Structure 1
């Protein structure tokens, strides 16, 4: 039986979702895309997410992973990129769980893409420090150390030329300024050389829509770090979100089972202690009863002796 979970990728212009076969890292059905509501407030987006899920026939116990363009900590959005600022401070996890009726697990969008690449794509079976960098409207990053995610690294915002690096070398900047591939690659060289110096990674995985044209710019980079194109591309967010949801749900079930086992063990120890206490009380009670009977017998003999003595005396 194949492992499945549902993945949803929330972006500034569209919300995409589909069930995912987690044995293969592929979509188990055609994805559905709906436009992101404008304004993209929490209530409006939550309704759109519920609508998207409703277009699929999935079981109520299927976990759902959702990417969100923000720093996410304990399910709460701490920033808001390309969505309404009213999301800041919103418990995205709780909101979408309540609106959809499913267990929802929320993750930063770049982290989700990274999870997909590490599980099924260009980062698979790679140890050391792996950085998945998505080049799009902005620059997203996901950092892994020996396969473990370091969440919310936001390396697109390191300073380069006095401002966030993404404002200088994102894919959208190349299009806006009509840069040729060589000129843009020069900007990427500056950025990745800086990141390489700071973190000494094992591998860079370059994602985003522009990764389809990786042959036009990756060979122009001169880096010590192995640099490869992402494999999952536009499906990475959905697949990564689903993989995260499945892993989190499994961890929760394991923790619940462990807690239940611990509670049963504790209850069993209490029962055993109660039995020992009852047994001890029973022994005390039996001893007390025996001592009482023995005392009565001794007392009766003394009385009898006194009577005999007086009778003999009288005789």
Structure 2
């Protein structure tokens, strides 16, 4: 099989990371490049950091970029852990100005993780109705049916009981409150049970940094739907971004 190479960049609240991706295997080619997210993380500052990563990599092809934002028609409609000035920013134009003459695709970071997991992760991610949840500073989500993405779901912001889900059960909350895995898993069960009641997926996939320790908390979840840990972990955003621009996906 001929090797197909793409380039993805994952914009996060603390770091901006990019790499070449082998789109036949989902593996990185060469080293991942990381630069700290500028403060404030304005569109101009982030775009300049993206330019630096692309130049440092010596990449001259299409670039896929994730943002912690709802992205519709290549416009950011929200901003999580980046500057509020992103809201209503035409992101395709912002990145196109610093990377002229090449195709750019911008999409939500959890959505990127979802499509990457469906292609290169657990085979079950590409079958049936699947919800991927990323536990980190917040709770990101990606909905897929037979591997096809329904973009820009934001169920981490749902009110479950009396609280916003991600302010009750993100991994950041676990760390801040120094919760044991069992106590935190009980909170995660509450929100996932509500998601289950409303959406009835065939599978939940849990990602984010805390998924590396899935054996400590996934078995404690008490819901009917099967739950598995994401396999791509911190590669998922970059891989999904590279996939998006190569496949001409532009939400």
Q: Quick check: 2:135–2:206 contact (8 Å CA) kept in 1?
A: yes
| Structure 1 position 56, deviation (Å) | 1.2
Query: How does the TM-score come out when normalised to structure 2?
Result: 0.96
Hey, what does 2:194 align to over in structure 1?
194
Tell me the equivalent position of 1:139.
Answer: 139
Pairwise mapping of residues 13-162 of structure 1 onto structure 2 (< 5 A)? Answer: 13-58=14-59, 60=60, 62-101=61-100, 102-122=102-122, 124=124, 126-162=126-162
Aligned-partner Cα distance in 2 for 1:171–1:209: 8
Cα deviation, residue 121, structure 1: 0.5
Larger radius of gyration: 1
CA distance in 2, matches of 1:184, 1:40: 30
1:225 is aligned to 2:225? yes
Choose between structure 1 and 2: higher strand proportion.
Answer: 2
SS at match of 1:29: strand
SS at 2:111 equivalent: helix
Cα shift at 1:3: 0.8
Q: Secondary structure at the match of 1:55?
A: helix
Would the aligned equivalents of 1:123 and 1:130 in 2 still touch at CA under 8 Å? no
Task: Give the alignment's Cα RMSD to 1 decimal.
Answer: 1.3
1 or 2 for the larger relative contact order (CA 8 Å, sep ≥6)? 2
Alpha carbons 2:9, 2:65 under 8 Å: kept: yes
Q: Judge conservation of contact 2:18–2:34 (CA < 8 Å) in 1.
A: yes
1:131-164 CA distances to partner (integer Å, 9 max, x unpaired)?
1100001000000012211111111011113221
Give SS of 1:132's match: strand
Distance (Å, rounded) in 2 between the aligned partners of 1:25 and 1:78: 29
Q: How many residues align?
A: 248
Distance 1:97 1:119 in 2: 27
Q: Do 2:7 and 2:20's aligned partners in 1 also have CA atoms closer than 8 Å?
A: yes
Runs of at least 5 residues in structure 1 that lack an aligned partner in the other structure: 252-315
